[in-house]
Amino acid sequence: MNKSELDFSDVIFSGGTGRSGTTIIGKLLSRHSQIGLSRPAEVKIHVAGNGLLDLYLGRKVGRYKHLMLTESLHLKRFQHRLFNDWWVRDPKVGEIAGLIQGIKLEELQHLMHVLKSNWKSSKALATMDFMRSFVDSQKQESGKEKWIETTPLNLFRANELAVFLPGCRFIHMVRDGRDVIASVVRESWGPNTYEDGLIWYRRRMRRILRNTNELGNQVFSLALEDLVMHKRKESIEALMAFLNLSMERKMAKYFESDVIPNKVQRGRWKSEVTDIAKFNESYFKIVEELKAIDPSVPLST
């Protein structure tokens, strides 16, 4: 198989700033008979630092990049991350998390062996084939024709992913930035204050829009608020049209019971921001800037 024969039109990535509904859309679409949700929902191996995409691009990142002097050392770094950082991760709640949820260790070891065997002949083909085999393994387990993965970083690197995995599609989940910030300030990885949150949100949204503005109909932007409240029927119909699929009873039932307003916390920032008027002024300046980059971004001004 050569590079031109690899097709990823069965792959759907959802993404966004984080805390924007990427998991919600993944769970909703997984109720369709043709779409399986990746296990774990955030696989990470394709977009995380020194993951498959960085191998494909030859990009060495992170605090160890000065040690990865050659491509073979870069490959070893990927292998280390694969079996140490991504195989088992600390779960937020409940069961153990990581790649262990969706693939057997022996199979993952085999994929790594094939990657190493093909690495010298074609770095690009070897990394693409790894991803193709990984997706196919999960599809075989689910018995479904399509595969959706929900790492927020998918949209940060959408332009690169579109080249790496030809034919893949993207769902950009957009949420009111004030609610996003109210959520991420509670996370260990997020900004500590609402003021820093505005900077964080602006930086992430600018990066996403600049990475998707040339992908045309490969990207579908969906406002979380429209999906759960304001334009439910129009939003779900537009989403299914983007995926060239028809709504099914099981998915419709889940949409009516679980994708609803009380599942999405809104307006918490109003009781936590000291100066609401100043906060809103700063936020809406960011929205205006984002709309200048992409007038179609579904954010209210």
Q: Which amino acid is at 238?
A: A
**pLDDT of 2 higher than 80:** no
Task: Give yes or no: residues 176 and 275 share one domain.
Answer: yes
- The CA-CA-CA angle for residues 165, 99, 74, to 5°, reads 60
Task: Give yes or no: residues 160 and 106 share one domain.
Answer: no
Q: Over pLDDT 70: what percentage of the chain?
A: 99
**pLDDT of 87 higher than 90:** yes
Of 144, 176, 209, which residue sits at a domain end?
Answer: 144
CATH number, position 240: 3.40.50.300
Q: What is the pLDDT of residue 3?
A: 67
Task: Give yes or no: residues 60 and 102 share one domain.
Answer: yes
Task: Give yes or no: residues 200 and 279 share one domain.
Answer: yes
The mean per-residue pLDDT over the stretch 181-208 comes to 96
Q: How far apart are CA 281 and CA 217, in angstroms?
A: 33
Q: Which token pair is 240?
A: 């299914």
φ/ψ region of 18 (left if φ > 0, alpha if ψ in -120 to 50, else beta) reads left
Task: Give yes or no: residues 139 and 173 share one domain.
Answer: no
Of 98, 120, 144, which residue sits at a domain end?
Answer: 144
Task: Give yes or no: residues 267 and 290 share one domain.
Answer: yes
Task: Give yes or no: residues 164 and 175 share one domain.
Answer: yes
- Domain coverage including residue 101: 43-144
How many domains does one find in the chain? 2
**Predicted TM-score (pTM) of this structure:** 0.96
Of 120, 144, 168, which residue sits at a domain end?
Answer: 144
Q: Which amino acid is at 142?
A: S
Task: Give yes or no: residues 1 and 126 share one domain.
Answer: no
- Mean of the per-residue pLDDT values for the chain? 96
Residue 174 contacts residue 20 (beta carbons within 8 Å): yes
Task: Give yes or no: residues 6 and 109 share one domain.
Answer: no
Report DSSP letters for 74-120, one per residue. Answer: HHHHHHHIIIIISSSB--SSSS-BSGGGTS-HHHHHHHHHHHHHHHT
Task: Give yes or no: residues 49 and 158 share one domain.
Answer: no
Residue 25 contacts residue 14 (beta carbons within 8 Å): yes
**pLDDT of 207 higher than 70:** yes
